[in-house]
Amino acid sequence: MFLTNGSETVGDFSITTVVNTPPWYENCYIVRHIPTGRQLVIDPGGEADRIAAAMSANGGAVAEILLTHGHPDHLGGVHDLQSVFDVPCRAHEEEQPIIASLASWAGALMRQRLPAPRRLEYLTGEPVLAYDGFDVRVLLTPGHTPGGVCYLFDGFAFTGDTLFNQGVGRTDLPGGNGPTLAASIGRLLGALAPTTRLYSGHGPAWTVAEARPWWTWAAAHGYA
């Protein structure tokens, strides 16, 4: 299983992966813009102490927390992380029904209580988020959940549970829709260069060049 932290550099960014413990093995990503030291956190699903320690080791200011979607294994660490770093958390406005049901989701899927994020701001449409020295494009990719998004950087993207390395997110949970997810994946892969690295919510990274032929096969076999 992918439990150890891993770090790599893509262009002007370092990407640190913190993998949460069983049963979900969810990937939290810490993205550091090397020229400015600015950090973003993608999907802190739990174990906020480990994530905070990795962020502190990186150094530099923390800008905010970004959520690809609102399932508890992707936002379970937000509240505690915000206790350490007083920064906002952002998700898409279409995800409000999922996040509003955090208590029931956490009870059903994780058998635990999770506190809601302290500061939560909702994104509208498909904005470009401007930070000190770089931009992040938000691509709305519903299907796994109504307001699932992917975050597109220069040379890499975070796909949450929209698309895994040779897998796709579930569509049998409330708010899921198979044909919608298939359309989202097709749009995502069509929008990115072949060399773009894809970092998903679970499992290892891969590239668009590797994902496209697999998705052609998977779509033909009804994966979503």
Q: What is the pLDDT along the chain (224 residues), one digit of tens a residue?
A: 334 468 999 999 999 999 987 787 999 999 999 999 999 999 999 899 999 999 999 989 999 999 999 999 999 999 999 999 999 999 999 999 999 987 676 656 656 677 888 899 999 999 999 999 999 999 999 999 999 999 999 999 999 999 999 999 999 988 999 999 999 999 999 999 999 999 999 999 999 999 999 999 999 998 87
pLDDT given at position 107: 57
The whole-model pTM stands at 0.95
pLDDT given at position 101: 85
CA 31-35-36 angle, to 5 degrees, is 75
Nearest CA among 34, 39, 38, 2 for reference residue 20: 2
pLDDT given at position 1: 35
Domains of the chain, each with CATH number or no CATH: 6-220 (3.60.15.10)
pLDDT given at position 21: 79
8 Å CB contact between 192 and 152 = yes
8 Å CB contact between 199 and 163 = no
Residue 179 in tokens: 């044909």
Beta bridge partners of 91: 122
Nearest CA among 119, 2, 137 for reference residue 62: 119
Type of residue numbered 218: A
How many other CB atoms sit within 10 Å of the CB of residue 130?
9
